[in-house]
Amino acid sequence: MHRIRTALPRPVRAVAVLSVSACLLAGCGGSPRSEDDSAKKPPAGAAAQPRIVLNATDGQKGVSVRSGGRIEVEHGSIAKASLVTADGATVPGKASRDNRTWSPDAALDHGTTYRLTAVATGGKGAKATERVTFTTLDEDDRFVGTYVPEHGSKVGVGMPVSFTFDKAITDKKAVESGISVSSSSGQKVVGHWFGAQRLDFRPQEYWEAGSTVTVRIRLDGVKGAEDAYGEQDKTVRFTVGRSQVSTVDAARHRMRVVRDGRTIRDIPITAGAASSPTWNGRMVISEKLVSTRMDGATVGFAGEYDIPDVPHAMRLSTSGTFIHGNYWGDDSVFGRSNISHGCVGLNDVQGGGDASQDGAWFYANSLLGDVVVVRNSQDATIAPDNGLNGWNMPWKEWVAGSAR
């Protein structure tokens, strides 16, 4: 969400920062304007009346802490800007270089009442004044979306953009419309809701290797549910690395690692035993751990194993599927039999200190977002929302899950 300025700056569109009801009842600025008003010009030779645009109306509650104290002036400049709390404490702020906007130095406090005064002057002594008292959004009345991947990261071609919201969203269209995802590759990107708190974005096919993905989050003031308003307003960018897709054939006990269309390694593996088979399907590496404890009690196998130092573990599902190093299995099982409780095991040593081992090599050569495909296992295909595994959903069904 960006704005292009003409010779005279346009007012901030307050509909993005106020509740819908407040906008409808009170207007979205200290000096509201209609489309007809914006088209009017002063008579030739007359000075334009300065116009003050605010992001709060007098008496309004639930105002954004990010933009509620902002002032913008058309056809003039700011002569005075004052923002104080109800008890008279001054909120520091500064004007822009052209003196047409003024903003607090930091976000306002939640659930706090403020008095805002703005005076603007224009040509030939023209003057305008606005005074409003407003109360910012209470901290309990906001929703926040955590997301992956992180800004500035480099990921594999399978990494979706995944948001998890801390409150159930009822107006999915409003929230989804507040997030845009685009790729330098030009691939079409579509969102899909998994329930009321998770929204993932992906293209029809894997991201193009070497592309840059931009995520624009414009949720400030968006009403996601009753007493749940967004505050986030940021842009996130990440890059897609080389293409690496590794295919596990559970029946052959092998994994073929293909990078940029060329096989670079064929690794002997052990997959899930007949009593605890590995999921089939396309799975995305969502977490990398040099060493981690794996306790069967956490995934329904209480008493069957508890290994405190599993080396080179990479998560493939929320339910506990990993591809990881295995030092406790005999060398003879790799490439010959399936003995695990559902994970894909690669030969390794305790402590993971031997870089020549398959487990260490695969860990060092994998990115978050790389794809691991499992075939010929005796289990079903993994659910699309079990991990970052929406690639297992047909595109038509994926698109149908968008709220736009």
Instruction: List the catalytic residues.
Output: 324, 343
Evaluate the CA torsion angle 84, 86, 89, 91 in order and state its sign: negative
CB 52 within 8 A of CB 218: no
CB 233 within 8 A of CB 225: no
Residue whose structure tokens are 């008890």: 87
Residues with Cβ within 8 Å of residue 262, at least 6 apart in sequence? none
CB 33 within 8 A of CB 109: no
Full strand arrangement of the beta sheet holding 233-240: 154-155, 233-240, 212-218, 179-183
Evaluate the CA torsion angle 9, 13, 14, 16 in order and state its sign: negative
Residues forming beta bridges with residue 78, ordered by sequence position: 120
> Which amino acid would we find at residue 154?
K
Tokens at 84, concatenated: 């104080």
Tokens at 297, concatenated: 């009690």
Mode of pairing for the β-strands spanning 244-249 and 254-259: antiparallel
Measured in whole angstroms, the distance separating CA 335 from the mean position of its chain's CA atoms is: 39
Put residue 114 in one of left, alpha, beta given phi > 0 → left and psi -120 to 50 → alpha.
beta
Residues with Cβ within 8 Å of residue 400, at least 6 apart in sequence? none
CB 98 within 8 A of CB 67: no
